[in-house]
Structure 1
Amino acid sequence: MIHLKQVITALALSAIVFTGCEKANVDVDTSPGNGTAMGEVSGVWQRGSTQVIKGDVVVPAGKSLIIEEGVTILMDTLAKPEFIVKGNLYSLGTEQNPVRFTVNELYKTDAKKFGKLWGGILAAQSCAEMVLDHTIIEYGGSTTSDASTSVKQGLYKAKAGENLPALWFSNVNGKLVVTNSIFRNLQEDCTYIEGGKIIFANNVFYTTGVTGGEAMNFKSGCLADVAYNLIYSTNTNALKLSNAGDRSPQAYIIAYNNTMVNTGWRRPTAKGGSIWLEASVRAELYNNMFANTRFGIKRDTKGPEDSRSIISNNYYYGYDQTTVNQFQPATDIVGGTNNVRGTVAGENDPKFVNYPLNTPTSNAVFNTAWDFHLQAGSPALAKGKTNFTRHHAAGLVLNGINYQSPEPSAYAGAFGVK
């Protein structure tokens, strides 16, 4: 068996490439490592320190906050702070010492497994750059009120009664990289992205969504590469891809080599599924694995995807006949080319190293000992497509570091053979 950090290690070795090591000039915080924060913050939170967030914090426009490896950002569960970014944010953990946006261990109970104990990371349109690398975001997603800073400042949906995403990014001219990170124990959307040049790679999403919520929710203005992510049992979709919002450029999402398991079953409505396409989004979907998920790829028939979209070389598995039946192409269920999609329960077993395929589809509890690598001889090997162009193959430079979207693999899903 393999632990989650080992899974992330394997992905990191096969994916994101970093070039360049020098950081941009930033304000330097020379205060002692540990501290408390409320109000404006910038500079550097020193490696290994604990920062107790007593109320809403704001990274001011024109300023940067660098969070070094091993920093714990501990949210006050009574204040339920919002982490607002008007400048730049660089959360730079490592495999051994991730950055953690979290709450006191006392509050991590089963009754609170879907979080809502603090707000989220909310990046205003003035945020030019954000990196979340080896960062854990958990127990967030609280509900706004008229008194919320985000409501008063017109951020996110700017109204009371909204469940906040763990991450909101809104600058169509900005750059966002989320890699090697974990989103878990959240009430609603893990991410809600309304623009930018974007890479989401090598991340894990689980135990999210009470009555709604996607793992990755992209709107107009986004040019995104999404690869090598593991998404387990989101309430709604693993990926919601939409051109809603009338921002330029048109949303164009290239998603490849992702593994989705049990997604969509806890929201038994039209939108509960795995990948949802709507509102003229342009999408390219390759080498994705759908294991016991609801639907696979589904479109809004009243507002379908751009006709230039490409769906190819995706892989489907269903343990029971009910699951297999709802994979089959129809008006609203997207087909595509060169897909592996059987018609009989149990067909095309991907042969995961360690995951019970008979796990109930309604299960939302994630076991970090599970291993979604493929065994030698898996039929999912050599089913992928590699000759397509991704947005950010040359990379996105943030804070002096070049982050490249990973190259596609010839297997289906996020994990090949060890």
Structure 2
Amino acid sequence: MKKLQIFTLGISLLALAACSKSSDKAVVSVPQIQIGKAIPNTGTLPAGTYKGTFLANQTYTIGGDITINAGDTLLIQKGVKLNMTNGANIIVNGDLVSLGTKDAPVTITDPRRVKTTGSSTVGQDSAYVGGWGGIYAGPTSKLVVLKWTHLDFGGAALKALPFPNANSLKVGAQYILYFMNPNGVFIMEDSWMYGSPDDATRFYGGFYNIMRNTMEKCGSNGGDGFNAKGSAIGNMAYNLIIGGATNGTKTASDGTTAGECQFTMYNNTYVNDGFRNNGVYGARSGSVEIENNSRALVYNNLIVNCDFGVRIAGGPGGAKVYLADTTYNASDAITKTAYGYNFYYADNASIAGQFVPTNVAQPVVTHPQATDIPNMAAFLGASYTFGLVYDGSSLVGKNNPMFVNFPLPAANNAWVTQCSVDSYNFHLQSGSPAASKGTTTAFQPITTGIPIDPNFGSSGITLPGKDMGCYQLNGTGNQH
């Protein structure tokens, strides 16, 4: 009990110190910490309960599910590699903290799999199959922190439910990240996700800061990237999402009566998303989706060759009601859904005809915005009724964002199959039409409930940037 009290006091002191320095802009090097005893690296680690610390720069082989009990903490130091075998999962009933660094990231992977470059198709790329399982954090998990951490080839099917009363979690689920404590905190910063057979993430309730990450090849024949549900609240910003099956970022108030799902989504870069959804065309998005009584602020995003632009769902479709909440409530973290200052580029007329999504399969209430590039309010005119089909062919090839290294226009419909970063560089050139076209004043990120701490919280909530997308010309934003 005394050790636990000391550890708790340490967290409190760190949090207080971080808060007192919140106005400082200097980046201070933080020494690696250790919690409890070191976990011995002696052969394959069997399934069982674990707490303590995986030591820096060591490679561990995991033979079965790792379970963190309520009240316990498992910490992963920089440079650790976890080779997950037998479809192993990390079941978090306590706290999980992964503290990679830029120079020594943490890697959690299936050692049987090797990344492939170039064209990527389901059935020929093992990224879409599922290798190791995922990180499943239950109702007693208070904190999950992932910093500079690679999550590669996850999504093996769950063989048994890890905890009772889980929102929409069933045997056979293939998520990589799952979190469901409405009072908990989930931090994912400067990390990577590569490959998944279904939704890469599912979040039900809690407070989130999801910033400066890179996501590749997520979803096989469907599945979203960062998929927030329930009463989850937070930020999704400065992420690069390429080659996702359906949405890159999404909100939906599914599975809760505790309150609405509310997120800011800003300064993200979405490339080639939405082309592997085997559901009804138009029933989902290809970049941003706001649906089912959720709210969002969507600004400064760079959306290139994605199946659909920012989609604000407008009503019933199929067996489910997708209507987003566009009403006003002064007491909420996000008082009203709002969006603008988003940048679009398309290499064909079908994509350009969905910069402002239309009622292809379900009603939408997405309004053309004069602050977007191109100016969709002017292009569609004052008489346009949201949801109507329009001809976007004259927009094809316009406003090339001028990436440092990525071929646009893309030859031979390459946006369908180029699903990973490879050796490309999605930073903007100095003369990009996306430079200095964002807003830094129209909105602010959510800070409520998100601790600022070098180890047990966010490293810092990056404010909106004036350049569209996740890479800023001044070197801030995504650091990959």
TM category, shorter: 0.7 to 0.9
Larger deviation: 50-59 or 17-26? 17-26
Cα 1:54–1:220 shift into 2, 3 Å: same
Of 425, 433, 438, the match for 1:379: 433
3-state SS of the aligned residue for 1:271?
A: coil
Q: Is residue 2:80 matched to residue 1:82?
A: no
Quote the residue 1:241 is aligned against: 251
Q: How does 1:125-274 map to 2 (within 5 A)?
A: 125-145=139-159, 148-150=160-162, 153-155=164-166, 157-162=168-173, 164-267=174-277, 269=281, 270-274=283-287
3-state SS of the aligned residue for 1:348?
A: coil
Quote the residue 1:352 is aligned against: 403
Give aligned-pair identity as a percent.
28
Looking at structure 1, the residues matched to 258 and 274 of structure 2 have their Cα atoms a distance apart, in angstroms, of 30
Of 320, 324, 335, the match for 1:305: 324
1:19, CA displacement in angstroms?
7.2
3-state SS of the aligned residue for 2:61?
A: strand
Cα 1:400–1:194 shift into 2, 3 Å: closer
1:196, CA displacement in angstroms?
1.1
What letter corresponds to residue 140 of structure 1 in structure 2?
G
Q: Is contact 1:266-1:272 (8 Å) kept? A: no
Looking at structure 2, the residues matched to 203 and 17 of structure 1 have their Cα atoms a distance apart, in angstroms, of 21
Quote the residue 2:447 is aligned against: 392
Quote the residue 1:50 is aligned against: 59
1:106, CA displacement in angstroms?
5.5
Q: Is contact 2:233-2:263 (8 Å) kept? A: yes
Looking at structure 2, the residues matched to 18 and 85 of structure 1 have their Cα atoms a distance apart, in angstroms, of 30
Looking at structure 2, the residues matched to 233 and 278 of structure 1 have their Cα atoms a distance apart, in angstroms, of 22
1:32, CA displacement in angstroms?
4.8
Cα deviation code 1:248-302 (max 9, x no counterpart): 2321101110000111022152214211111111110110111111111113322
Larger deviation: 300-309 or 107-116? 107-116
Cα 1:364–1:86 shift into 2, 3 Å: farther
Cα deviation code 1:137-174 (max 9, x no counterpart): 011112234xx243x74546342333x21100111111
Looking at structure 1, the residues matched to 299 and 69 of structure 2 have their Cα atoms a distance apart, in angstroms, of 39
Quote the residue 2:4 is aligned against: none
What letter corresponds to residue 242 of structure 1 in structure 2?
A
What letter corresponds to residue 71 of structure 2 in structure 1?
G
Quote the residue 2:289 is aligned against: 276
Q: Is contact 1:27-1:63 (8 Å) kept? A: no
What letter corresponds to residue 54 of structure 2 in structure 1?
W
Looking at structure 1, the residues matched to 366 and 26 of structure 2 have their Cα atoms a distance apart, in angstroms, of 33
Of 469, 473, 480, the match for 1:413: 469
Cα 1:25–1:328 shift into 2, 3 Å: closer
Aligned-residue CA RMSD in angstroms? 2.5
Looking at structure 1, the residues matched to 274 and 68 of structure 2 have their Cα atoms a distance apart, in angstroms, of 35
Cα 1:101–1:386 shift into 2, 3 Å: same
Larger deviation: 100-109 or 25-34? 25-34
Structure number with higher relative contact order (C-alpha < 8 Å, ≥ 6 residues apart):
1
Looking at structure 2, the residues matched to 321 and 32 of structure 1 have their Cα atoms a distance apart, in angstroms, of 56
1:190, CA displacement in angstroms?
1.3
What letter corresponds to residue 291 of structure 2 in structure 1?
E
Looking at structure 2, the residues matched to 174 and 324 of structure 1 have their Cα atoms a distance apart, in angstroms, of 40
Cα 1:362–1:190 shift into 2, 3 Å: same
Of 460, 470, 476, the match for 1:404: 460
Cα 1:223–1:18 shift into 2, 3 Å: farther
Of 76, 81, 87, the match for 1:67: 76
Q: Is contact 1:17-1:406 (8 Å) kept? A: no
1:26, CA displacement in angstroms?
3.4
3-state SS of the aligned residue for 2:45?
A: strand
Aligned length: 397
Looking at structure 2, the residues matched to 242 and 334 of structure 1 have their Cα atoms a distance apart, in angstroms, of 16
Q: Is contact 2:203-2:232 (8 Å) kept? A: yes
Looking at structure 2, the residues matched to 114 and 17 of structure 1 have their Cα atoms a distance apart, in angstroms, of 40
Larger deviation: 180-189 or 59-68? 180-189
Cα 1:389–1:72 shift into 2, 3 Å: same
Larger Rg: 2
Q: Is contact 1:37-1:51 (8 Å) kept? A: no
Q: Is contact 1:253-1:284 (8 Å) kept? A: yes
1:394, CA displacement in angstroms?
9.6
1:347, CA displacement in angstroms?
1.1
Looking at structure 1, the residues matched to 218 and 457 of structure 2 have their Cα atoms a distance apart, in angstroms, of 31
What letter corresponds to residue 180 of structure 1 in structure 2?
D
Q: Which runs of 4+ in 1 moved over 4 A?
A: 16-25, 32-35, 105-111, 152-156, 398-402
Of 362, 383, 394, the match for 2:416: 362
* TM-score, normalised by the number of residues in structure 2: 0.77
Larger deviation: 302-311 or 362-371? 362-371
Looking at structure 2, the residues matched to 282 and 155 of structure 1 have their Cα atoms a distance apart, in angstroms, of 23
Q: Is contact 2:245-2:275 (8 Å) kept? A: yes
Looking at structure 2, the residues matched to 272 and 119 of structure 1 have their Cα atoms a distance apart, in angstroms, of 26
